[in-house]
Copies of this chain bind each other. A is one copy, B any other.
């Protein structure tokens, strides 16, 4: 099993790359190819748009690579997502793509294009507390299709999609919006004020495309900055309220988030 790592958003920390490479060597079941593009830096990004796109397209087209693992989030994959999903080579269709947070723009574009995508831990998560477990979970899924790595609600025959709420809000209506019809939609977010969560929920649940989902489940909303004044309701109440207002079924809690416990959500097990 050969897995390529590219960074479509921000630069990967070398110490994270080294730690994950060491884990992969110790496992012995995976050949991890960390693309040098991961360490480029151009302003906010891991290299200019063209450099990030070229590295991604290169590993997508490589017949020897079984999966593409996004190095980390941050911001920037939206800038190349539409181009990355265009005119796909056959080899791109035989791979799994794994990431979350900002990489959700790619999950959306690739899911729309019919590729196998999964929401789950990325390489740089190794630096989190307990991050080794997240890395093993990612590899257990990519290498062994270990169902123990999945969110407990994921099941065959039911589309399950997972996104960072803010990323989801920012891709609705664009060329990379996937088909949400009938899906169990999982959301999570990090470092957004309650008023921003409320506003994003207004936006997302106000979308006719989103109203076609089967249900919505809430992952962890972490590191919420203090609202000034006190907002008046917490994240779960906010999510439940907007589900109620929009006629969307609130399906409960999801085991995803910006943390080491982040479980894996393949969008469509039938594609795996």
> What residues on B are CB-neighbors of A78 within 8 Å?
199, 202
Expressed in whole angstroms, the Cα–Cα distance for A231 and B10 within the complex equals 11
A41 located at the interface, meaning its Cβ lies under 8 Å from any Cβ of chain B in the complex: yes
> What residues on B are CB-neighbors of A79 within 8 Å?
198, 202
Contacting pair A44 B203 (CB below 8 A): no
The number of times this chain is found in the oligomer is 2
Name A228's closest neighbour in chain B (CB-CB).
B44
- On whether A170 and B169 interact (CB within 8 A), knowing A202-B78, A229-B43, the answer reads yes
Choose from B41, B45, B171, B231 the contact partner of A43 (Cβ within 8 Å): B231
Name A231's closest neighbour in chain B (CB-CB).
B44
Contacting pair B43 A173 (CB below 8 A): no
Contacting pair A173 B207 (CB below 8 A): yes
Contacting pair A199 B173 (CB below 8 A): no
Q: How far is the CB of A177 from chain B (nearest CB, A)?
A: 9
Choose from B170, B195, B230 the contact partner of A200 (Cβ within 8 Å): B170
What is the interface residue range for chain A against chain B?
Answer: 20 to 34
Contacting pair B43 A203 (CB below 8 A): no
Which residues of A are at the interface with B, using a C-beta cutoff of 8 A? Answer: 41-45, 75-76, 78-79, 169-176, 194-195, 198-200, 202-203, 206-209, 227, 229-233
> What residues on B are CB-neighbors of A231 within 8 Å?
43-44
Expressed in whole angstroms, the Cα–Cα distance for A109 and B237 within the complex equals 26
Q: How far is the CB of A85 from chain B (nearest CB, A)?
A: 14
> Which 8 pairs from chain A and chain B are nearest by CB?
A43-B232, A174-B206, A75-B195, A170-B203, A173-B207, A173-B173, A44-B231, A78-B202
Contacting pair A173 B208 (CB below 8 A): yes
Name A206's closest neighbour in chain B (CB-CB).
B174
Contacting pair A45 B232 (CB below 8 A): yes
Q: How far is the CB of A248 from chain B (nearest CB, A)?
A: 14
Q: How far is the CB of A185 from chain B (nearest CB, A)?
A: 15
Expressed in whole angstroms, the Cα–Cα distance for A43 and B202 within the complex equals 18
> What residues on B are CB-neighbors of A43 within 8 Å?
229-233
